[in-house]
Amino acid sequence: MTTLEFNNKYQPLEALLFAFAMKLTRNTTNAQDLMQETLCRAFKNKDRFLVGTNFKAWITTIMRNNFINDYRKRKTRNKVEAPIEDFSYFVENKSVEGNANSIIMMKELTRMVESLADDFKKPFNMYNEGFHYDEIAASMNIPIGTVKSRIFFARKKLKSMVRARYGTALLHRA
């Protein structure tokens, strides 16, 4: 579909699409944003439109899918509407004293991690340092699935070592 053909099909439907966007969003500004996103996505994918099929159904489906995707993003996004000062209790007096038991336990846990095979230890340590799976995969030149698998098995092995050393009570503490 050429740009001219796309414009010719889109122009008569613009008012109908805006009404549909208003029905979905119930807000003029959000409806305009949805219209713009739909137009951009439809135009970008105009070559995927099959000539002879229903253009109105195609573009309204794009709009509906955009709305649903945006709704899901907003729903799962963490919203903090209170000022940051209201959350200061999270960081106050949360320091952990370096008592002997916790120091010994950390040394033992570090030894357990060090005892893992290098194939499991390196991705596990990188993940704990904050690297993403794709970054670990690129660094080690292995597939992402392999990285995920190795981290999973490293956790499983460490869990069994902790269970053998400390019992199950430690695994359930938060």
Q: What percent of the chain has pLDDT over 90?
A: 29
Q: Can 3-76 and 101-166 be said to share one CATH topology?
A: no
Q: Could you tell me the pTM of the whole model?
A: 0.45
Alpha-helical runs (H) found in 2-99: 3-10, 14-25, 28-44, 55-76
CATH topology classification for 101-166: Arc Repressor Mutant, subunit A (1.10.10)
Domain ranges of the chain: 3-76, 101-166
Per residue in 31-73, pLDDT (tens digit) is 999 999 999 999 998 888 888 889 999 999 999 999 998 888 8
Q: What would be the CATH architecture of the domain defined by 3-76? A: Orthogonal Bundle (1.10)
Looking at residue 26, the DSSP 8-state letter turns out to be S
Contact yes or no for 56/13 (Cβ under 8 A): yes
Q: What percent of the chain has pLDDT over 70?
A: 82
